[in-house]
Amino acid sequence: MRLPCPICGERDRREFYYRGAALALHRPDPDAGDEAWADYVHLRDNPAGVTRDLWYHEGGCSAWIVVTRNTVTHEVLGAELAEGAR
Amino acid sequence: MRFSALRILKEGLTGNKGWTPHWRDPAPKPAYDVIVIGGGGHGLATAFYLAAEHGLTNVAVLEKGYIGGGNVGRNTTIVRANYNMPGNSEFYSHSLKLWEGLEESLNYNVMHSQRGVINLFHSDGQRDYAARRANSMINQGDDAILLDREGVRRMVPYLDFENVRFPVYGGLYHPRGGTARHDAVAWGYARGADMRGVDIIQNCEVTGIDVENGRVTGVQTTRGAIKAKKVGIVVAGRSGQVAALAGMRLPIESHVLQAFVTEGLKPCIDQVITFGMGHFYISQSDKGGLVFGGDLDMYASYAARGNLPLVEHVMEAGMTLMPMIGKARVLRSWGGIMDMSPDGSPIIDKTHIDGLYLDCGWCYGGFKAVPGSGNCFAHLIAQDRPHPAATRFRLDRFRTGVGLMDEEGTGSQHNLH
Amino acid sequence: MRLANRGMVDRNAPVTFTFDGVGHSGFEGDTLASALLANGVRLVGRSFKYHRPRGILTAGSEEPNALVTLGSGARQDPNVRATQQELYEGLAAQSQNRWPSLDWDLLALNDLAAPFFGAGFYYKTFMWPKAFWEKLYEPAIRRAAGLGALSGLNNADTYERAFAFCDLLVIGSGPAGLMAALGAARAGADVILAEEDFRMGGRLLAETHEVDGKPGHLWAAGLLDELASMDNVRLMTRTTVTGAYDQGTYGALERVSHHVPRSRAPLECFWRIVAKRAILAAGALERPVAFRNNDRPGIMTASAVRAYANRWGVSPGKAVSVFTNNDDGYRTARDLVAAGVHVAALIDSRHDGPDLPGVHVIKGAQVCDAAGRKGLESITIRTHRGEEKLLTDCLAMSGGWNPTLHLTCHMNGRPAWREDIQGFAPVPGMIPGLQAVGACNGSFSTAACLREGAEAAEDALEALGFKPAALELPQAEDDPFRIAPLWSVEGKGRAWLDFQNDVTVKDVKQAAVENFRSVEHMKRYTTQGMATDQGKNSNVAALAVLADVTGRAIPETGTTTFRPPFVPVSIAAMGAGAQGKGFAPQRFTTSHKASIERGAPMIEAGLWYRPSYFPAPGESNWRQACDREVKMVRETVGICDVSTLGKIDIQGPDAAAFLDFVYTNTFSTLKVGRTRYGLMLREDGFVMDDGTCARLGETHFLMTTTTAAAGEVMRHLEFVHQCLRPELDVVFTSVTEQWAQFAVAGPKSRDLLDALLDKPLNGPDWPFMACGPVTVMGVKARLFRISFSGEHAYELAVPARYGDALFRELLARAGALGGGPYGMEALNVLRIEKGFITHSEIHGRTTAYDVGLGKMVSEKKDCIGKTMSERDGLIDPMRERLVGLKPVGAVKQVIAGAHLFEVDDAPVRENDKGYVTSVCYSPTLGHMLALAFLKNGPERIGERVKMVDHVRKIEALCEVVHPIAFDPEGGRMRD
């Protein structure tokens, strides 16, 4: 598996750390309430198909990136820097 | 038909003409008391116990493919009850006891082999945690022995004890742990359920869950609508998709876990050995193949296949732990879809919809849980209250933080458990 | 029997070898199989279940029968395919799965009991009495099962792994692969041509076809010369592409030196090939026909018989017969006749097969039985006239060809059934970027292979942006492939499908009767296709039988799942480099050498090595050293390398604001030149890590993490910044390895430093938790007045290159003051006495509240984890919370891992009140101490609990005490 780092170009999966769904980008306000926080921390859309998830180019440029990817075929459709993806 | 050596003898002498189907292939009836969605190990076991222990025989198991085609047919066959956390502790203990009587309950040889499980540790800190876990096991009434380095060496002298990155300090030995013939578990439960009147319906995919006034009334399937008073969802690997049919979003992320088997070899590994430092575990099947696996590939996936980085990492772990397996050749690799939950422990609970029940989140520990999960889920469905061994597997524990069972201590990042 | 003037073995290079101890000879260029056949050896193995005598079936890696063990001792290599193993001088092969000998195998008795050993018999018996499974049945089954044996010794060979990158990966070097490689190479693309065999050319080596007017293998040789001369081409023989993975990654096994005895080269290399495009030209595999006793030694695939004759100059028999359902079988008869071998008959199951001059062709006939237990003697032929016996010592059978499409299905693709070839063929696009051509695409004529190879190269070039080069298609045979399906011959007795696993047509039928009708169920119930060939020889026929018996068409019945690896790959190759210490990096501190010189045992701390203790003369165990070191720190001064703690340099105008967000407590109020202890939560509210953080400047902080969590914290900071607070102007750099840092701890630490530093410390400038720059012998250093021992202490950091020198200097100076180095054991005792937590306590399931630091979660601001840490379940007083324990009963021992109970309660789960995480003997206090988590613990100080450790059989009455057992006011470290 290879991922396109927006900074470094296509790199082997070994260079990346995986975190999970990109909804981690959307941290609720502290007072958003129990439901919003439980959702944020625990619930997942978990699609069988196209998803956006967060990877960290740990063995490379240290960028956190959002990869658009298909969870059924493992096709990678694109990647962008997380800081611009919110 | 009752299976026995005598039956084999009789059939063998008469041309093996008398064998009959292990389960029927009935057409779905218009309505059932209970529909179990998912013909995997857990679903089939649920149906079996609904019939055998709760007298509910007007039950259908709906399977979109062939029964036993998911994780029960694709795992490393390990059966154990060596958990530390309350909740898991009593549940897996209960499950192991069911395993111990399974051949008799099912009249089916699932080859449950209590050959012992050794969890190695490699530092003082790991020894402390192993001891804590061992004490938890004994507190629960299960068996545990803490082995020192020499104790491990006596049992598995072929590990590399001399020149190794993480020297063996000792091991947590669980004599009643072991393995079972995975496919046979699904087939045995299917046959047992079928014999008691349960309809096992293959090639029947659920496409909708019917809810009226907050109560489940049936399901839509590729073979038509079927009414039901109660519906149990037990489809680990696809929990999110099926729950979504009822408008639910789950604390589950699906991941791929690979496992491997080598060509057949003469007996060389007699126990189940786990090597936490390398996320590696291994046993030898009765057929002679080394069956082993490692960690998740670490990305959400429904592909039921993985990639080389993890493959190689598993092989590396094997080579540092027991270099004698180097010349064993990997014959086949496979990947299963794991329901990863936020604390690494499962969910057996009611849902917000009356009559709709959920059994999911087995992470990569579902095989050994098959009897326990089926037994406890059947209890919940039949009696509307949790089985005493599964009271903590609540869906709301993530929201409340009450009774989390984070054995790994890695927190709510699904893939880290 | 060796044939004169045929084959590509080097008749001038004889090679001697042994099989089961008997000496034989062959030639260079032989495989073990071709040499055994040349020597008239027909019985080479035993089957898995019935221990039936077996001979060589094929001429390739798919061989199910001729598996042998090579070598001995730690080099013993089981399950080697004789059909693939190149012969070398002195090769010693042993047969497998027989006892006492291949000729007389006791377990052949199983064959007589076959009626009781049908499909899945073991699921129906061995259930009583229960205890007999582990004690009797299973051990007996295990002993009987398995093929070859591992030596049980540490692997003694070397292996490699490597990466390769290319524009185009061509898999297979037959006519299709060669044309593809040539086309791409001439256009300038980087090409890797991978071939499983030790010689390139594929099927051209085994056939007598002409290509471009020359014998096929000579045409191939010419083309290979051109390829070998090109810089942009890499030719890889003995290399099997084993798996297709995501984004153009392929696994490949190169058998580097299996053919070279005592080579110093690695035995195997496992390649990860990243290819922009790939062309699969893997050919096809011929399949047997199922008929009664079709497993007799001497019954082989027709293509194998032909390959042995044409490539190796060997006839597997003196009177060869052929049984075919397609035209291809005729080629075997034709080539044998040309080679001067007697062909007894050609039996064609079709009525409309061609004629073959010089060969007795029997049309519309079937072979329905074979005789000759350890070597074929005769076959029974059934025609419309009845059955007749034919004496023959070798039967070449052809049931048609299966395209070798396995790689195309490694991403869950399913192949499509083609009526014209009676086989499955790949569906385009199943592996992105991979195109199947030639025989593996179901195109069996040589001309079609050449054409498809050339066309695929053009397609690949276009996709890669290369301009195709001129490529002329050579002339070659373009015979149509004509076949009439025949999967199994009707009749009594057992007809084999899976030779190795002893799966017969009867087994498949019985499985269907028992409702194992799904192809996956049939496979799993009968073990069909689960042998070392993974069904390459048998799966299609088996599912055809299943389709027939269940009244379904073959496409509807479907295939089982194709999974990597294409051929079995050794664990050692895929895990190359990990044996011994190679599994994980080793990290060494700058004081490592000096510590070892002092005799310190080094222990693993994550990836690092740290000294356990520093033994002194007269000490006989670690406890004596540890007690002394603790006393030394408490009374004089001790030195400890703390460089392994993570150090993260944090700079930027918003650094303070950022730290306020990642720590539970506030850092924006911290003054420059001061250090503060910080606690970090995960977003789910549990403790992630702790450590000190120093403010070196207005916009400059240095964060310290625990050794274990350094990487995790770095990742977390980058996550929080880039993903949650990108608006903050702050950057992070890991400087763990840039600084060597030493604790100088104890009442005399100040004296030591004042003498060591270029300028003595000015007391008022250096209160507890102060930090700042200093110089040591002219070297710029950093000093932190922090303490993990509870003593007046400092940590002194210098650039890592000075670490060794500084450590030695510190030890010398400490020694002069009555102090010295201390190790991890003493460090642990010192911190337990002080109730300082480590990852034994913050083990991922504890909250700030649990460890008594709830007040550190600031009420005034948001931080990571704050909201979730306020969940009901995380603030319940009945949670297990940190306390100290002191043994107060007759047993004076406490032990980590023990559980806690009320004094009168039975030690069972329902009564569990907590557990012990850290223990030590405190030389300072004169008794053992523990840190533990106890339900509602802080409210129970002064009460008694029972500590129970079942596994080490220790039970002790303990008093619950405050976790800080020594100097609770902290005066010693502040003064």
Nearest C-alpha of chain B: how many angstroms from C396?
28
State the Cα–Cα distance between residues C458 and C199, nearest whole angstrom.
Answer: 26
Burial of residue C400, with CB atoms counted within 10 A of its CB: 0-12 exposed, 13-18 middle, 19 or more buried: buried
Residue B15 lies in a domain: no
What are B45's two structure tokens?
């076991």
* Fold (topology level) of C874-974: Elongation Factor Tu (Ef-tu); domain 3 (2.40.30)
Determine the straight-line distance between the first and last CA of chain B, rounded to whole angstroms.
43
CATH for B381 = 3.50.50.60
Mean pLDDT, to the nearest integer, of B63-75?
Answer: 96
B401 and B351 within one domain: yes
* Contact residues for B37 (Cβ-Cβ < 8 A; gap 6+): B43, B62, B206, B219, B231, B232, B233, B234, B235, B242
Q: Does A2 touch chain B (CB under 8 A)?
A: no
Instruction: Measure CB to CB from residue C867 to each of A10, A37, A86 and give the nearest one.
Output: A37
Pairing of strands C386-391, C503-504: unpaired
Q: What is the mean pLDDT of residues A20-35?
A: 96
Classify residue B298: in a domain, yes or no. Answer: yes
Q: How far is B5 from chain C (nearest CA, A)?
A: 5
Whether A50 and chain C come into contact, CB under 8 Å, resolves to no
Using one digit for the tens of pLDDT, what is the confidence trace for C655-711? 999 999 999 999 999 999 999 999 999 999 999 999 999 999 999 999 999 999 999
Q: Would the pTM of this model clear 0.95, i.e. be above it?
A: yes
Residues of chain B contacting residue C564, judged by C-beta atoms under 8 Å apart: 332-333
Please say whether the beta carbons of C941 and C949 come within 8 A: no
Question: CA C210, CA C208: separation in Å to the nearest integer?
Answer: 7
Across C704-730, b (16+ Cβ under 10 Å) vs e yields bbbbbbbbbbbbbbbbbbbbbbbebeb
Q: Does B290 share its domain with B335? A: yes
Which two structure tokens, joined as six digits, stand for B415?
């893939």
In a domain, B8, yes or no: no
- Does the domain at C646-734 match CATH 3.30.70.1400? Answer given as yes
Q: Which residue has the tokens 């026929």?
A: C541
Amino acid at C480: P
Express the helix, strand and coil content of chain A in percent, nearest 5 each. Answer: 20, 40, 40
Contact C268, C574 (CB under 8 A): no
pLDDT of C776 higher than 80:
yes
Instruction: Pick the closest to residue B202 from B62, B45, B31, B46 (CA basis).
Output: B62
> Closest residue of A to B311, CA-based?
A14
> C859: which 2 tokens?
């009420």
User: CA C503, CA C119: separation in Å to the nearest integer?
Assistant: 8
Chain B residue with Cα closest to A68 = B300
Percentage of residues of chain C with pLDDT beyond 70? 100
Residue C287 tokens, joined: 């399949």
- Provide the CATH number for the domain around residue B329: 3.30.9.10
Residue A86, pLDDT score: 77
Task: Among B302, B307, B413, B415, pick the best mutation site for testing chain A contact (most A Cβ within 10 A).
Answer: B302
Domain residue spans of chain C: 1-149, 159-284+403-464, 288-399, 488-560+568-578, 599-644+738-822, 646-734, 874-974
Of all residues in chain B, the percent with pLDDT exceeding 90 is 100
What are chain A's partners, defined as 3 or more CB pairs within 8 angstroms? B, C
* Chain-chain contact of C871 with B401 (C-beta, under 8 angstroms): yes
One domain, residues B186 and B287: no
Q: What is d(CA C68, CA A10) in angstroms, rounded to the nearest whole number?
A: 44
**Chain B residue at shortest CA distance from A50:** B301
Judging by beta carbons within 10 Å of its beta carbon (0-12, 13-18, 19+), is residue C101 exposed, middle or buried? exposed
- Domain at C159-284+403-464, CATH homologous superfamily: FAD/NAD(P)-binding domain (3.50.50.60)
Identity of residue B188: G
From the options 3.40.630.10, 3.40.50.10070, 3.10.20.440, 3.40.50.720, give the CATH code of C1-149: 3.10.20.440
Answer yes or no: do B327 and B347 share one domain: no
Distances (CA, A) of C791 to C328, C645, C797, C807: 89, 19, 19, 20
Contact A54 C432 (CB under 8 A): no
Residue B33 — pLDDT band, cuts 50, 70, 90? very high
* Predicted local confidence at residue C845, as pLDDT: 97
Return the CATH architecture of domain C288-399: 3-Layer(bba) Sandwich (3.50)
Taking contacts as CB-CB distances below 8 angstroms, the residues of chain C near B333 are 243, 563-565
Please state the rounded mean pLDDT for residues B135-151. Answer: 98
Interchain contact C873–B (C-beta under 8 A) = yes
Domain coverage including residue A53: 2-84
Q: How many CB pairs under 8 A join A and B?
A: 72
The answer on B267 and B279 residing in a single domain is yes
Give the ranges where C514-652 is alpha helix by DSSP (H): 519-526, 539-550, 554-557, 571-574, 592-597, 622-635
Mean pLDDT lowest among B189-203, C118-132, C338-352, C725-739 = C118-132
**pLDDT tens readout for residues C288-309:** 999 999 999 999 999 999 999 9
**Domain C599-644+738-822 fold:** Gyrase A; domain 2 (3.30.1360)
Say yes or no: B89 and B135 in one domain: no
pLDDT above 90 for C836: yes
Which chain A residues in 11-30 lie under 8 Å from chain C, judged by CB atoms?
12, 17, 19, 24-25, 27-28, 30
Buried b (16+ CB within 10 A) or exposed e, C80-91: bbbbbbbbbeeb
| Nearby residues of C172 by Cβ (< 8 Å), 6 or more positions away | C194, C195, C196, C202, C280, C281, C282, C283, C438, C440
Spell out which residues of chain A touch residue C718, defining contact as CB-CB under 8 Å: 56, 62, 64
B388 touches chain C (CB under 8 A): no
Chains near B (3 or more Cβ pairs under 8 Å) = A, C
Residue C165 is given by DSSP the state E
B299 touches chain A (CB under 8 A): yes
- pLDDT for the residue C370: 98
Q: Domain check: are B167 and B100 in the same one?
A: no
Mean pLDDT over each residue of chain B, to the nearest integer: 97
What's the pLDDT at C130? 87
C-alpha–C-alpha distance, residues C744 and C838, integer Å: 20
Which of B300, B320, B340 marks a domain boundary?
A: B340
Q: What's the mean pLDDT when you consider all of chain C?
A: 97
**With an 8 Å Cβ cutoff, are C723 and A25 in contact?**
yes
- Assess whether B156 and B272 both reside in one domain: yes
Contact (CB<8Å) A20/B253: yes
Residues in chain C with CB shorter than 8 Å from the CB of B342 are 684
Question: B309 — contact with chain A (CB < 8 Å)?
Answer: yes
Residue whose pair of structure tokens reads 């959400």 in the numeric block: B300
Enumerate neighbours of C (3 or more CB pairs within 8 A). A, B
Taking CA–CA distances from B303, the nearest residue in chain A reads A72
Query: Min CA distance, C167 vs chain A (Å)?
Result: 15
Q: What percent of chain C has pLDDT over 90?
A: 99
From CA C240, how far away is CA C251, in angstroms rounded? 9
User: CB distance from B414 to chain A under 8 Å?
Assistant: yes
- Asked, for residue B111, whether it belongs to a domain, the answer is no
CATH classification at residue A32? 3.30.2270.10
Tokens of C26: 């062959």
Asked whether this chain's domains C159-284+403-464 and C288-399 adopt the same fold, the reply is yes
pLDDT in tens, C394-403: 999 999 999 9
Confidence of residue C103 (pLDDT cuts 50, 70, 90): very high
How many domains, chain B?
A: 2
Cβ within 8 Å, pair A44-B302: no
- Give the residue numbers spanning the domain of B323: 117-177+254-340
CA separation for the pair C655, C699 (Å, rounded): 6
Residues 6+ apart with CB under 8 A from C676: C665, C667, C670, C692, C693, C695, C769
- Specify the pLDDT at position B190: 98
Tens digits of per-residue pLDDT, B72-113? 999 999 999 999 999 999 999 999 999 999 999 999 999 999
Q: How many CB atoms lie within 10 A of CB B126?
A: 18
- The answer, yes or no, to whether residue C975 has pLDDT greater than 90, is no
Domains contained in chain A, number: 1
Same domain, B220 and B294: no
Residue C372 has pLDDT above 80, yes or no: yes
Regarding whether B173 and B312 lie in a shared domain, the answer is yes
Q: Are residues B286 and B327 in the same domain?
A: yes
Q: Is B404 domain-assigned?
A: yes
CATH number for region C488-560+568-578: 1.10.10
For the purposes of burial, counting CB atoms within 10 Å of the CB of C224, is it exposed (0-12), middle (13-18) or buried (19 or more)? Answer: buried
Pick from A35, A71, A73: CB nearest B300: A71
| Alpha-carbon distance B340 to nearest alpha carbon in chain A (angstroms) | 10
pLDDT over 90 (residue C617): yes
* Confidence check: pLDDT of B233 > 80: yes
